[in-house]
Structures are given as C-alpha cells and as structure tokens.
Amino acid sequence: TQSTGNYVLAVDQGTSSSRAVLIDCTSGEIVNEHNVPLPNLYPNEGWAEICPRLILDTTYECIDAVVDKAVAGGVDLASISGVGITNQRETTLVWDRNTGKPLYNAI
C-alpha cells in the first residue's frame, strides 16, 4: 500500500556536506535522509576550495537515495508537493558558457 501523505523534499548543499531530507508535512517528522560529507581543499593558507563535480554529484546522490528510500517505504512520489533548496551563499563558481564545465574549483 502506498502512502498518500503530503511531503516536502529539503536539499541542503553546504561547504561541509550535501544532504537531502524527506519530511512528512502532516506530522512534521523526518521520513528519511541522506548525507554525504564533502572534502575541502586548502591549496594555500587562508584559502578553501571544493571540487565542483563533487558538489553536483553528492547532491544528486543524496536526492536519489532519499527518493529511493521513500519509494521502497511506500511513498507515492506524486505526494511530494515541494522542494526546498539551500546553498553555500558566499561560494563562487565559474562555468564555461560553451562546455558547461567548471573553469576552476569552487572558492
């Protein structure tokens, strides 16, 4: 039997990890979550960088894991009524307009 509750998927992509959480809006309870730590790079004193590909890949991994767990637990994906996204705010990334690839690490 599939659940027909009202759910929200929250995605938090931060400097230390990517995370996704599925929340039951009726009870306010977390249905499931997935978190992947992100390694930071420190090429010079006072600098912090993150591999852009890891940012994207870990975010996809978290979303996929939460959605897969939800389906396995009987949640009807049509009952996910919204997605909230947070990001790193001060982090800067430059992408090549023609290739769509990052020109350097996120700083």
pLDDT (tens digit, 0 to 9) for every residue of the chain, 107 residues total?
455 569 999 999 999 999 999 999 999 999 999 999 999 999 999 899 999 999 999 999 999 999 999 999 999 999 999 999 998 878 899 999 999 999 999 99
Contacts of 79 (CB under 8 A, 6+ apart): 3, 4, 5, 6, 7
**CA 36 from chain center: how many Å?**
9
Per-residue confidence (pLDDT) for residue 42, from 0 to 100: 95
Token pair, residue 65, equals 């894991």
Structural contact between residues 94 and 104, judged by C-beta atoms closer than 8 angstroms: yes
**Angstrom distances, CA of residue 100 to CA of 63, 93, 97:** 22, 12, 6
Q: Are strands 17-24 and 7-13 parallel, antiparallel or unpaired?
A: antiparallel
Q: What are phi and psi of 58, to 5 degrees?
A: -70, -30
Structural contact between residues 44 and 77, judged by C-beta atoms closer than 8 angstroms: no
Per-residue confidence (pLDDT) for residue 5, from 0 to 100: 65
Alpha carbons 82 and 78: distance in angstroms, whole number: 10
Per-residue confidence (pLDDT) for residue 1, from 0 to 100: 42
